[in-house]
């Protein structure tokens, strides 16, 4: 197996959200794609370790937004590296609610979809949900973010729960134990805050 072969695939970056009995949940994914057009169906693959997976399973509905290239690392850090089980991820951002009662973030969102789960495939570590699109809307015409742009320009990392996760190795510096961000420096400043997930110096380990 040549692991680098998987780096040749291209993806976008999205937020998937869902709501069950008033509990809102959401996470960043790169695995959203359109699988049919009539009816319009989307697929998304979510780790069983993600709270959002459980909420989608219970509610049978999910919302999706397409992130724009200028999406902030605060937004990606909140939705991509923390768990909705512990915090309200939506409170720091502008949101709307779709007709299924699911919140979605309108900041840095190029388009949004509301889906009803019509099928799911248990993939062991992950579940692939197939959702029929009930609503779709363009929110702005800014350039959308690709997964490659996220890595190469935003210097973003991917947590273990993402299907495309790979171990990143670095020789020197400090690694964030929450999101894997690597600070290439001899010393880490006392007030340093991870630019991706927002944790402090105490969560960094020396390489
Ligand atoms: C760029 C990026 C892509 C990701 N892609 C996926 C994905 O496709 N599927 C998945 O399960 N998790 C993915 N993740 C990880 C989840 O967003 C992350 O585990 C999140 O904290 C789960 O939140 P929750 O527990 O509130 O659901 C990705 C994260 C990032 C930053």
pLDDT digits (tens, 9 = 90+) for 55-71: 999 999 999 999 999 99
Among 47, 53, 80, 126, which residue has the most ligand 1 atoms within 8 Å of its CB, making it the best to mutate?
80
Q: What is the pTM of this model?
A: 0.87
Q: Does the C-beta of 83 come closer than 6 Å to ligand 1?
A: yes
Judge whether residue 83 has pLDDT over 90. yes
More confident residue, 97 or 159: 97
pLDDT per position as a tens digit, 106-153: 999 999 999 999 999 999 999 999 999 999 999 999 999 999 888 877
More confident residue, 21 or 72: 21
Residue 76 Cα: closest atom of ligand 1: 31
Query: d(Cα 158, Cα 185) in Å, to the nearest integer?
Result: 21
Tell me if 30 sits within 8 A of 13, measured CB to CB. Answer: yes
Read off the pLDDT band of 169 (50, 70, 90): low
Q: What's the rounded mean pLDDT across residues 90-98?
A: 97
Pair type for strands 40-47 and 61-67 = unpaired
């Amino acid at each position: 197996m040549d692991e680098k072969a998987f780096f040749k695939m291209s993806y976008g970056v999205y937020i998937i959200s869902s709501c069950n009995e008033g509990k809102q949940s959401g996470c960043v994914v790169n695995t959203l794609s359109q699988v049919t057009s009539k009816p319009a169906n989307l697929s998304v693959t979510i780790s069983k370790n993600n709270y959002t997976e459980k909420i989608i399973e219970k509610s049978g509905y999910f919302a999706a937004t397409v992130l724009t290239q200028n999406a902030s690392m605060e937004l990606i850090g909140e939705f991509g590296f923390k768990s909705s089980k512990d915090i309200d991820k939506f409170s720091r951002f502008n949101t709307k609610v779709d007709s299924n009662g699911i919140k979605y973030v309108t900041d840095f969102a190029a388009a949004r979809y509301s889906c009803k789960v019509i099928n799911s495939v248990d993939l062991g570590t992950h579940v692939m949900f197939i959702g029929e699109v009930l609503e779709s809307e363009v929110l702005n015409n800014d350039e959308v973010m690709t997964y490659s742009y996220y890595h190469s320009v935003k210097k973003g990392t991917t947590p273990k729960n993402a299907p495309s996760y790979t171990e990143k190795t670095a020789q020197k510096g400090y690694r964030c134990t929450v999101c894997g961000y690597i600070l290439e420096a001899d010393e880490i400043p006392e007030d340093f805050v991870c630019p991706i997930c927002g944790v402090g110096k105490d969560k960094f380990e020396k390489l």
